[in-house]
Amino acid sequence: MVNILSLINDAAKSDPKSFIAECETNYKNQVSAAAERIADNDDIKIVAIAGPSGSGKTTTAHILMRELEALGEKTAVVSLDDFYLPFEKMPIGPDGERDIESVSALDIPRIEKAFSDIVNNGRAYLPRFDFLTKSRIENASEINIGHRGIAIVEGLHAMNPMLTDGVARKNILKIYISVNLPIESEDGEPVLTSRQLRLVRRILRDEKFRGASAEETLYLWNNVIGGESKYLYCFKNTADIKLTTLHAFEPCVYKDEFCKMRAGVGVNTPCYEYFIKTANALELFCGISSDFVPENSLIREFIGPKR
């Protein structure tokens, strides 16, 4: 995979459309290989997709669902975000605020029941968490995938043994996804780290889909990183499959919109210097119009649909 700045810029200048298509094919091939492995094993009832913030868990889950359905499998996607406890029951962190990054912010017995129902019956009632009212609606939907179906469960804690230990190991396959690769200079020096790229993804996504400004996302960023260190990375090596979600063209697409956000972020905002360093790094990339990005691309999770 290309992750060298000069090569990325050469491709962006010479033939951006082909460059994007090559990156899209690379990622689709990773997901297709995972789908074939899953479809070849009739014991697998749950696919758990975990990864840090901005890794592309939600879109990857739906891409995988389409790949499995093309192989004749009946599937459904389950988001662990819908299993949050009501806000007033979430644990309180060291800063005195509700700790939504903690695994204890999830209703673990309710998740265990859903997993048991899926494995044993191929169907389950699922709640839905309303982020506007910070409350949960019980039995908001039902999945019915039959005894040979596969539930794709995505979320930060999807590989945590506190959630998965009640499922026989043969019935669950674990996938860890993240950007994983930094973008480097020809000398091997980091230009844009995978964590910086995830921050760019999250800021753009939160502004478009969650009504949160760059400043609001930056206020949460240290807690997000702390939650990943505490609740995710320790289980990373238990994954059966690891997927790299870096699309080498993406900094070129993010550049203009992200860099404009500098004007709206105050110098006293948490992670301000990190934010500015990231924006300055994006200035090194040749821009590519988002119009070239396919509608079904993982990158659309962060930049939104075509206008």
Delimit the domains of the chain by residue range.
5-303
For residue 282, the model assigns a pLDDT of 98
Tell me if 243 sits within 8 A of 174, measured CB to CB: no
Residue 131 has pLDDT above 90, yes or no: no
**Which sign does the torsion angle of CA 145, 158, 92, 213 carry?**
negative
Average pLDDT over residues 150-171: 97
For residue 134, the model assigns a pLDDT of 79
First vs last Cα of the chain: how many Å apart? 29
Token pair of 37 as six digits: 């492995």
Percentage of the residues of the chain whose pLDDT score is greater than 70: 100
For residue 211, the model assigns a pLDDT of 82
Percentage of the residues of the chain whose pLDDT score is greater than 90: 89
CATH numeric code, 5-303: 3.40.50.300
Q: What is the mean pLDDT of the chain?
A: 95
pLDDT digits (tens, 9 = 90+) for 32-69: 999 999 999 999 999 999 999 999 999 999 999 999 99
Beta strand pairing call for 135-144 and 123-130: antiparallel
Write down how long the chain is: 307
For residue 97, the model assigns a pLDDT of 82
